[in-house]
């Protein structure tokens, strides 16, 4: 057993670590190590204490690394730079677009703030560019380099790489549109895309731009998008895009292997004839005036559908757009309840407004009203505006007469029409497809999958992740580039979700991005002059079991360790 002993030499005390043992029956020192003087021992002990950290620096890591890894697998940086080359100086166009896409997915910032955000992520250590390289003016300059033709080339090449690297089930493709309001002034004449139209966010007072999107049914991976003028209605837009959609789909899968699903707002003779001629399979909703005989069929003729509780269907074949098609009318109890609730609510609102209009006319007759004198024509116009909601003009019988030079309003609910709506119309959806061999449940299932693309649009309006806004752009070209990297953000996130779901982690897109964003990289900084200051001390924040599994599935170590 070792012990410490001291020796005095020339009046000074020195210490040794020694080990003793019996040799031939006598105690002897068999091993010793010189330790030095007491002051030297104390000094070495002080130096051996771990240095106290000066500060810690926290970086965005998990979400950035996961999306960057997917971009690497797609070779997205190289793809963009091939389509939009520039002189080898500073960040490439691909760096700007990829940074914008990752930022949109995780923490949407304006161009003024994106450089500061970049500095606080692992991208700074990965790319080695200073934050000043991503200033607002430089972002504008690089956005100017990207044409609509370049965006189309990138989309086409990217769809092929997605199919090759990640594998897509492209048997069913979903198409839909949405719009995003802007704060562009009415006097801004540099932008033709932003126009006033029917705003899905109910901001009819603002100019808006539209976004058309084609996604896979499984995982809602975007394959094609188009930014369009905000005043275009779907039925006018779809004929223009139908040919383009079909051509782009053909670059991924043959026509006979895919089915395009879209809503009735896109159905027109021109678009459908083009679709039929191309051989593209389709499932679409049909307007009520196209198939009145099916929608009004007695409910007793409908059949229950196994696997779709609360749903009944009636199917028959007819010729549409010169092709034999299968027509399926679906009746759903939940849809009936929703429509009946909306119908009742609108009846009450319209009745109250008509009553207020009638009271106003009575006040005029009593001489208690002021303002412009009412006319029969004006009263009819007001009544029509009140009854603008679906079915209301059919449900109310309006009569405007004149008495003593003033209009007289009377109204009543048409109960025969109300009974007919309840028994023959509410809860029903008419669907049409060229798949003659499909069962009604397959047609209905394909159409209902459109709700998934609606969820995609909701994600793009989420204030925390994948947010389209803020969009501080005022020219058509920059708005199209903005749409491009917003869809890239959606693409990277949906592919991350695809990998997570295949590994058994089923989360919504916002929940997945929140989990990944919670994984942070922590750098421990020591004071200058200490031994610890000579090397980096970087580690990851403590992760939950789910976060560890996500980190493994999404291979973030390949980014953080690089």
| Residues of the chain above pLDDT 90, percent | 40
Q: Say if 384 falls within a structural domain.
A: no
pLDDT at 12: 87
Residue 533 pLDDT > 60, yes or no?
A: no
Q: Are 180 and 211 within 8 A, CB to CB?
A: yes
- Mean pLDDT for 205-213 is 88
Pick 152 or 41 by higher pLDDT: 152
pLDDT surpassing 60 at residue 255 = no
Compute the distance between CA of residue 222 and CA of residue 488 in angstroms, rounded to an integer: 8
pLDDT of residue 50: 60
Q: 73 pLDDT band (50/70/90 cuts)? A: very high
Q: Is residue 403 part of a domain?
A: no
pLDDT in tens, 177-189: 888 888 877 777 7
Residue scoring higher pLDDT (258 or 30): 258
Contact 83, 93 (CB under 8 A): no
Q: What is the CA radius of gyration of the chain?
A: 35
Q: Which of 292-306, 359-373, 418-432, 507-521 has the least mean pLDDT?
A: 359-373
Question: 58: phi > 0 → left, psi -120 to 50 → alpha, else beta; which?
Answer: beta
Residue 15 lies in a domain: yes
The pLDDT score that the predictor gives to residue 72 is: 95
> Which DSSP string corresponds to 279-329?
T-EEEEE--GGG-HHHHTS-GGG-EE-TTSTTEEEEEEEEEETTEEEEEEE
For the stretch 408-461, pLDDT in tens is: 888 899 999 999 899 888 999 999 999 999 999 999 999 999 998 888 888 888
- 299-358 per-position pLDDT tens digit: 889 999 988 899 999 999 988 888 899 999 999 999 999 999 999 999 999 999 999 988
Q: Quote the pLDDT of residue 485.
A: 94
Domain range holding 14? 2-48
Per the listing, tokens 């109910």 go with 202
With bands split at pLDDT 50, 70 and 90, how would you rate the model's confidence at 490? very high
Highest mean pLDDT among 208-217, 247-256, 523-532: 208-217
pLDDT in tens, 301-316: 999 998 889 999 999 9
Residue 497 banded pLDDT, cuts 50, 70, 90: very high
Please write the tens of the pLDDT for every residue from 42-57. Answer: 777 766 666 666 665 6
Residue percentage of the chain with pLDDT more than 70:
93
**Does residue 35 form part of some domain?**
yes
- Name the CA dihedral angle for 402, 403, 404, 407, rounded to a multiple of 10 degrees: -50
Q: Are 473 and 482 in contact (CB under 8 A)?
A: yes
Nearest to residue 468, comparing CAs of 486, 455, 450? 486
Strands (DSSP E) contained in 49-198 are 55-60, 172-181
**214: β partners:** 175, 224
More confidently predicted of 188 and 223: 223
Residue at 42 is within a domain: yes
Establish if 38 belongs to a structural domain: yes
| Band of pLDDT at residue 470, cut at 50, 70 and 90 | low
Q: Is the dihedral of CA 161, 478, 483, 194 positive or negative?
A: negative
Residue with tokens 């003033």: 406
C-alpha dihedral, 104 to 110 to 112 to 114, nearest 10°: -10
pLDDT tens digit string along 120-163? 888 988 899 999 999 989 998 999 999 999 999 999 899 889 98
Which of 60-64, 175-179, 237-241 is predicted least confidently? 237-241
Q: Burial letters for 407-433: b for 16+ Cβ neighbours within 10 Å, e otherwise?
A: bbbebeeeeeeeeebeeebbbbbbbbb
Which residue carries 């930022």 as its tokens? Answer: 103
- 196 in any annotated domain: no
Q: How many CB atoms are located within 10 Å of the residue 546 CB? A: 12
The overall pTM is greater than 0.75:
yes
pLDDT of res. 447 = 94
Surface-to-core class of residue 203, CB atoms within 10 Å of its CB (0-12 exposed, 13-18 middle, 19+ buried): middle
CB-based contact 142:235 (threshold 8 Å): no
Number of helices (H), then strands (E), belonging to the chain: the values are 21, 17
- Using CA atoms, how far residue 482 sits from 282, 467, 485, in Å, is 31, 11, 6
CB within 8 Å of 462: residues ≥ 6 apart: 510
Token readout for 14 is 């020195």
- pLDDT confidence of residue 153: 92
Please classify residue 506 by burial: count the beta carbons closer than 10 Å to its beta carbon, then call 0-12 exposed, 13-18 middle and 19+ buried.
exposed
Note the pLDDT of residue 112. Answer: 87
pLDDT band per the 50, 70, 90 thresholds, residue 38: confident
pLDDT at 254 > cutoff 60: no
**Predicted local confidence at residue 55, as pLDDT:** 63
Q: How many domains does the chain have?
A: 1
Longest dimension (CA), the chain: 142
Does the residue 431 lie in any domain? no
* β 281-285/259-262 pair status: parallel
Evaluate whether 209 touches 199 at the Cβ level (below 8 Å).
Answer: no
pLDDT at 562 over 70: no
Q: How far is CA 398 from the centre of its chain?
A: 45
């Amino acid at each position: 057993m070792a012990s410490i002993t001291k020796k005095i030499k020339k009046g000074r005390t020195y210490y040794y670590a020694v080990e003793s043992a019996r040799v031939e029956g006598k105690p002897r020192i068999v091993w010793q190590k010189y330790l030095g003087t007491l002051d030297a021992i104390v000094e070495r002990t002080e130096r051996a204490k771990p240095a106290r950290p000066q500060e810690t620096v926290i970086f965005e890591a998990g979400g950035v690394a996961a999306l960057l890894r997917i971009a690497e697998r797609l070779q997205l940086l190289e793809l963009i730079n091939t389509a939009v080359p520039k002189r080898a100086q500073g960040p490439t166009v691909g760096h700007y677009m990829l940074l914008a896409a990752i930022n949109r997915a995780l923490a949407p910032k304006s161009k003024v703030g994106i450089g500061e955000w970049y500095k606080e992520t692992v991208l700074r250590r990965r790319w080695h560019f200073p934050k000043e390289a991503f200033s607002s003016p430089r972002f504008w300059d690089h956005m100017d380099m990207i044409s609509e033709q370049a965006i189309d080339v990138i989309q086409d090449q990217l769809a092929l790489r997605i199919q090759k690297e990640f594998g897509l089930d492209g048997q069913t493709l979903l198409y839909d549109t949405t719009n995003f309001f802007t704060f562009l002034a009415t006097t801004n004449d540099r932008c033709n895309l932003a126009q006033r139209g029917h705003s899905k966010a109910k901001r009819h007072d603002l100019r808006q731009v539209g976004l058309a999107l084609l996604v896979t049914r499984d995982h809602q991976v975007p394959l094609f998008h188009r930014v369009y003028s905000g005043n275009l209605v779907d039925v006018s837009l779809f004929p223009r895009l139908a040919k383009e959609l079909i051509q782009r789909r053909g670059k991924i899968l043959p026509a006979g292997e895919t089915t395009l699903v879209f809503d009735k707002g896109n159905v027109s003779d021109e678009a459908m004839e083009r679709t039929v001629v191309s051989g593209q399979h389709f499932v679409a909703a049909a307007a009520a005036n196209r198939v009145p005989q099916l929608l009004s069929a007695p409910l007793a003729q409908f059949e229950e559908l196994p696997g779709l509780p609360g749903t009944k269907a009636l199917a028959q074949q007819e010729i549409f757009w010169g092709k034999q098609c299968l027509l399926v009318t679906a009746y759903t109890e939940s849809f009936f309840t929703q429509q009946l609730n909306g119908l009742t609510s609108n009846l009450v609102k319209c009745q109250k407004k008509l009553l207020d209009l009638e009271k106003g006319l009575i006040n005029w007759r009593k001489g208690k009203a002021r303002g412009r004198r009412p006319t029969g024509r004006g009263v009819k116009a007001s009544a029509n505006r009140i009854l603008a909601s679906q079915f209301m003009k059919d449900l109310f019988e309006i009569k405007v007469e004149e008495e003593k030079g003033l209009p007289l309003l009377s109204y009543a609910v048409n109960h025969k029409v109300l009974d007919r709506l309840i028994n023959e119309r509410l809860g029903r959806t008419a669907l049409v497809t060229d798949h003659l061999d499909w069962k009604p449940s397959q047609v209905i299932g394909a159409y209902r999958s459109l709700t998934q693309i609606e969820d995609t649009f909701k994600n793009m309006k989420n204030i925390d992740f994948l947010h389209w806004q803020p969009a501080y752009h005022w020219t058509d070209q920059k708005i199209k580039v903005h749409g491009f990297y917003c869809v890239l953000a959606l693409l990277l996130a949906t592919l991350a979700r695809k990998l997570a779901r295949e590994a058994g982690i089923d989360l919504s897109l916002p929940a997945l991005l929140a989990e990944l964003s919670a994984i942070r990289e922590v750098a421990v900084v020591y004071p200058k002059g200490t031994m610890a200051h000579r090397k980096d001390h970087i580690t990851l924040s403590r992760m939950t079991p789910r976060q560890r599994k996500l980190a493994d599935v999404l291979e973030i170590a390949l980014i953080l360790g690089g």
